[in-house]
Structure 1
Amino acid sequence: MTPKGSPAQKTAVELLQLYKAKELSPVEVVSDAIARIRSLNPYVNAYCHVDEDGALEQAKASEDRWFRGEPLGQIDGVPCSIKDLVLVRGMPTRKGSLTTPSDAPQDVDAPVTAHLREAGGIILGKTTTCEFGWKGVTDSPLTGITRNPWNLEMTPGGSSGGAAAAAALNLGVLHVGSDAGGSIRIPCAFTGTFGIKPSFGYVPQWPTSAMGTLSHLGPMTRTVSDSALMMSVIGRGDVHDFYCSEPRSRDWTATLDLGVKGLRIAYSPTLGYAEVDPDVQALTAKCARVLEENGATVDIVDPGFADPTNDFETLWYSGAANAIFKLSPEARGELDEGLLRVAELGRRIDILDYLRAVDRRIELAEQMVEFHSRWDLLLTPTLPITAFPVGSNVPANWPSDNWVTWSPYCHPFNMTQQPAASIPFGFASDGLPVGVQLVGPKFRDDLVYRGAQAISDAFAATFPTDQAVLAGA
């Protein structure tokens, strides 16, 4: 078990205070993180690439700056990781695929990576993803299976499963994930960590995702306050992303402690159509009571839209087809069979069916704008289930082989581009974590953060330790 005084137990906020007081060095913190990755990564497969020498070199430079009292930025000396769909200068971007080159380190950072560096963040390496981020669990032909720290026989979810496992086990502090249909929120719910899919347009994304405007980049952390700090760094405009090019910045930590008193919160156990595990529903109902006890007005209200899964699949499968059929026939033969099947379905979609799905996406977004004229936040379960065994895209005896069907609470809000966060809120009877989801109006991520902080303050979730992973090894 990790000693409470060790660097691995510190949040980013705490580390920065200790650096300022010269009571801890970035070199000590990064060295500890590297040692933990060496020890624990073989069990969970969270990282697919670690730059030990580069991270230590960055840490020494950070230590020198703190010694002079001249930190580079808001997160100087804090260890970070980047999901392996995102460019990092000097590291390969393999995307979980045998079709990508292993000997081609990038010569440029993605904007989100550059923003972390500019603020003094130390890039430890790249975290695992399923191939091209195509599904809700994390395994790939290239990197194999990534496992859940709470039970190594279970999936951590995906596609940002490596980042979630790293966050849960303190293998770094701030982690970049991506979410085109739940890929931040799913693994955060399965691993007892915090993740937010920010409003589309807040965090720049370049190169553009194959999933287009469904895809969001965002923070994955152990605490809400660390996430808000990280969002203050990465939530800036960049000329590379024309959706997000306006220069701007915001301190997302400033309103964290305003609480939920006076907020109007709709609690929807099923969105009107989902089936949910009784343990998950009971914990989400408990969360609704916690919000009410803290001064919010909470009512059971469904948002009023029909299940948009078919429209989401039309949009998503089309994106997959556009990405995959750029590859040669020989390269396509090396792909995950499930991804190839989805891409083939996408290739067969008629253009008029695609445009009708776009129209219904707009209608859904308009419905949610109207809904949020009456309700500040929407509370739901993040997922209707807890983590299931690795090696499958769906739980045992699930009525469909489509992973989207077991994440009905996530993808609607990729279609509407709203901020949505998964907050850890206890454990089901199987001992696995449960997450609750807060959804806010587009560009009101501050409300989501306020609600998430209030939930975390009222119910301090317990995070994994070395013991949790070794017990299942």
Structure 2
Amino acid sequence: MSAAELAQAYERRETTPVEATRAALAAIEERDAELNAFVLVDADGALRAAAESQARWEAGAQRGRADGIPTTVKDLERTRGWPTLRGSWLVADPGPWPEDSPSVAALREAGAVLLGKTTTPEFGWKGVTDSDRFGITRNPWDPALTPGGSSGGSAAAVAAGMGTWSIGTDGGGSVRVPASFTGTVGFKPTGGLVPMYPPGSNGLLSHRGPITLSVLDAAILLDVIARPDIRDWAALPVRDGSFVAGIEAGIAGLSIGYSPDLGYGRNDPEVEELVSAAVEVLAGLGARVSRIEPLFDDPIDAFQTMWCAGIARTLQAYPAGDLGRLDPLLLEYAERGRETTALAYLDAMAVCADLGLRMARFHESYDVLVTPTVPTVAFPAGQNGPSPAQSRVWASWTPYTYPFNMTRQPALSVPCGLTRSGLPVGLQVVGARHQDGRVLRVGRAYEKHSGWSPVTEAARTRATRRGQLS
């Protein structure tokens, strides 16, 4: 069940938080040895929290729709009582671990059941999920393939039923890429809407956001975690209303700009075919859809400058003698970052400002921009990219996600179907800054009327495979 469905079932006494938590733990027991999505599972703590939630539901004192929902957290988020190891041998702090990050604190207060922490590449540095410390995380749709990254453990857990939803981080696509590869929903909100603490190593590129089974669930989860926190100097102020309110209003009359490639990408044919079909669905729902001309040149050089500088800053906290334990390519990124001058970094920031202005002007004419989330589908696990040429610079194979970290706009990946080989494809919806509700509304309209659901398709795929095996 989705989180929204679980909350309804709790209210109707059709199931309980304890039953839902046991089901999630059973799925972890069954599937995680193969998928490797977790670095920590706290079954006893989860069942205690579920029992407390169940008592609240039985007393009519539940804390909202997140109360009792089995939840996972990416292992870049501080979580009280659990280590935050960041996928690296360099992190050797024995604890205690006394502090929750803002998102985890909000989830705990809302009564969510915390199951455990999910995998990330070292310090979340790349677009797939593997590390020397924790090994390779695999895709539930096909364990030979990657779930993407860097929130690949979170997306794999949600896709496999090992928890209902998760919190991921996104510095260049790290929520949306794994959502696209695993048939889940991933949302990067407007920068500052979800507080960042500790601050992301990549400065204003860094965001936190939901990975869920539905757009409605993403809105419910965003209502929980989108609140200011004094530990984040760039957090936005308290906002009125709910992201769920108005999400069912439909999209008739909205203006959508569609770009299959932003003018510089190159898509797998089936990705473009499925995204084009999804755009037709949006038009059929009453939106005014226009294919648009390129908006900007590929900003990958500026992004790489900022990304590598962020990695260098992260690694300077660790003894130089320990850095030999790191992924060699990560060390190359750090070396490039150390060579970056302040002037070069400010030049990259100027590119961000120009992109932001271009997109602000675009949104004077269009409510949202629609693109593929990623030009390709999941590729073999253990690789840094779909081809050797794209493996050294991970951003080269995800050209449609990182520009919107640079502009700090809300961007959603929603599943839009399966290729003929049975792999998910994502549709990206991008909105003007502070128009998160509109982005969610477009995604919700699509998922309700497209006739495609990641939950039902996953069940159908599993049933087909069981039949083939028998």
Q: Is the 8 A contact 1:149 1:468 kept in 2?
A: no
Moved more, 394-403 or 39-48: 394-403
Match of 2:462 among 463, 467, 472: 467
CA distance in 1, matches of 2:382, 2:144: 9
Q: Is the aligned partner of 1:213 residue 2:208?
A: no
Matches within 5 A, 1:179-328: 179-244=170-235, 246-248=237-239, 250-328=241-319
Moved more, 43-52 or 425-434: 425-434
Deviation at 1:303, TM superposition (A): 4.7
Q: Is the aligned partner of 1:175 residue 2:170?
A: no
Q: Is the 8 A contact 1:303 1:371 kept in 2?
A: no
Deviation at 1:154, TM superposition (A): 0.5
Q: Is the 8 A contact 2:193 2:236 kept in 1?
A: no
CA distance in 2, matches of 1:394, 1:105: 37
CA distance in 2, matches of 1:166, 1:77: 17
Q: What is the aligned partner in structure 1 of residue 100 from structure 2? A: 109
CA distance in 1, matches of 2:329, 2:241: 40
Q: Is the aligned partner of 1:364 residue 2:359?
A: no
Moved more, 95-104 or 49-58: 95-104
Q: What is the aligned partner in structure 2 of residue 78 from structure 1? A: 69
Q: What is the aligned partner in structure 2 of residue 11 from structure 1? A: 2
- The unaligned stretches of length 5 or more in structure 2 are none
Distance 1:468 1:448, change over 3 A: farther
Q: What is the aligned partner in structure 2 of residue 50 from structure 1? A: 41
Q: Is the 8 A contact 2:390 2:397 kept in 1?
A: no
When the two structures are superposed, what TM-score results if normalisation uses the length of structure 1?
0.95
1:114 maps to a residue whose letter is A
1:262 maps to a residue whose letter is G
Distance 1:468 1:395, change over 3 A: farther
Q: Deviations over 1:79-135 (max 9, x none)?
A: 111100000101000000001126324211111001011111111110101110000
Q: What is the aligned partner in structure 1 of residue 420 from structure 2? A: 429
Q: Is the 8 A contact 2:72 2:115 kept in 1?
A: yes
Deviation at 1:384, TM superposition (A): 0.6
Q: Is the aligned partner of 1:409 residue 2:385?
A: no
- The unaligned stretches of length 5 or more in structure 1 are 1-9
CA distance in 1, matches of 2:404, 2:139: 25
Q: Deviations over 1:446-471 (max 9, x none)?
A: 11101101110122233335938997
Moved more, 69-78 or 442-451: 69-78
Residue 373 of structure 1 aligns to a residue in which SS?
Answer: helix
Residue 325 of structure 2 aligns to a residue in which SS?
Answer: coil
Distance 1:75 1:400, change over 3 A: closer
When the two structures are superposed, what TM-score results if normalisation uses the length of structure 2?
0.96
Q: Is the 8 A contact 1:93 1:105 kept in 2?
A: no
Match of 1:375 among 346, 366, 370: 366
Number of residues of Structure 1 aligned to a counterpart in Structure 2:
464
CA distance in 2, matches of 1:12, 1:170: 12
Q: Deviations over 1:372-411 (max 9, x none)?
A: 0011000100011111101110113535621110000000
CA distance in 1, matches of 2:390, 2:248: 43
Runs of 4+ in 1 over 6 A off after TM superposition: 468-473
CA distance in 2, matches of 1:14, 1:423: 18
Q: Is the 8 A contact 2:128 2:147 kept in 1?
A: yes
Matches within 5 A, 1:67-146: 67-101=58-92, 103-146=94-137
Distance 1:285 1:347, change over 3 A: same
CA distance in 1, matches of 2:317, 2:192: 27
Distance 1:360 1:245, change over 3 A: closer
Q: Percent identity?
A: 44
Q: What is the aligned partner in structure 1 of residue 437 from structure 2? A: 446
Match of 1:66 among 57, 62, 81: 57
Q: Is the 8 A contact 1:236 1:249 kept in 2?
A: no
Q: Is the 8 A contact 1:303 1:368 kept in 2?
A: no
CA distance in 2, matches of 1:398, 1:280: 20
